[in-house]
Amino acid sequence: MNSKTEYILHLADNGLILAQRLGEWCGHGPVLEQDIALTNIALDVLGQARYFYQYAAEVDGQGKSEDDYAYLRGEREFKNFLLLEQPNGDWAHTIMRQFFYDNFMQLVYTKLLLSTDKQIAAIASKAIKEVNYHLKFSSEWVIRMGDGTEESHERVQNAANTLWEFTGELFVPTDYDNEMASQGIAPDVTSLKNEWENRVNEIFAEATLQVPQAIWFQSGGKTGVHSENLGLLLTDLQYLQRTYPGASW
């Protein structure tokens, strides 16, 4: 598989896995309004994933469809961030995961607008508007909980502490990252780190939260080495196509 296909699948897998996690909230949100808000975000990122899978199929040239990539690959073939496969936990964990990712993706899509690949740039120009809203939403909730009650502050601080070790991976380039950066197709992910951290510092300050200090970061998701959570998630996600191959409605 060529680097470009791998990179596009990485972007697609991020959207699919996050959408699946957010979808788990459907019907279980703390209130109706936030239930709908999360499923709206899920549909946005799933839509982005579909564009990327469709484009990956074209670039891959193996005659596969978007469904083949989503439903018929094993966990070692998925290239999503470890952060996104982490369980929903409570509302604070779900929001914190979203904030870390939105913060990152807004920086990525802003750079992808200038990609030398026109199709990727076109997808980014649609996605950036969605992500701008997601980041506003997740940032406000981090602030609301951090600067809220004693309980909400503690929960959201716990969420930050738990998820922090999965944020290092966002800035660790893989071979396909480096190849795409050298061709001007994608940004150098290491160059996004400062701005990402600045925004975390800014929002956490307003939320009266402590920025966690990690001595070690998890990584591997981008090259298919996942936590045990992904296998369980895929079992749910892929069950129907695995059990009834080709089923459609």
Partner 1 sequence: MDNRKRWPLWEVFIRGKHGLSHKHVGSLHAADADMAIENARDVYTRRQEGISIWVVESKDIAASDPKLNDAMFEPAADKVYRHPTFYDLPDELKHI
Q: What does the binding site for partner 1 look like in residue numbers (CB under 8 A)?
A: 31-34, 36-37, 40, 137, 140, 144
Q: What is the closest distance, in whole angstroms, from the C-beta atom of residue 37 to partner 1 in the complex? A: 4
Residue among 76 and 136 whose Cβ is closer to partner 1: 136
Shorter beta-carbon distance to partner 1: residue 34 or 227: 34
18 vs 37 by CB, closer to partner 1: 37
- Comparison of 80 and 94: residue with beta carbon closer to partner 1: 94
Minimum separation from the CB atom of position 208 to partner 1 (A): 17
Q: Report the C-alpha gap between 172 and 188 in whole angstroms.
A: 10
State the DSSP string of 22-72: HHTTTTTSSSHHHHHHHHHHHHHHHHHHHHHHHHHHHHH-SS--HHHHHHS
**Half-sphere exposure of residue 6, counting CA atoms within 13 Å on the CB side?**
17
Q: What's the min distance (Å) between Cβ of 138 and partner 1?
A: 11
Question: CB of residue 126 vs partner 1: minimum separation in angstroms?
Answer: 15
Does residue 194 sit in helix, strand or coil? Answer: helix
Q: Closest approach of Cβ 172 to partner 1, in Å? A: 33
Q: Name the residue nearer to partner 1 (CB basis): 11 or 37.
A: 37
- The position carrying tokens 């992808």 is 112
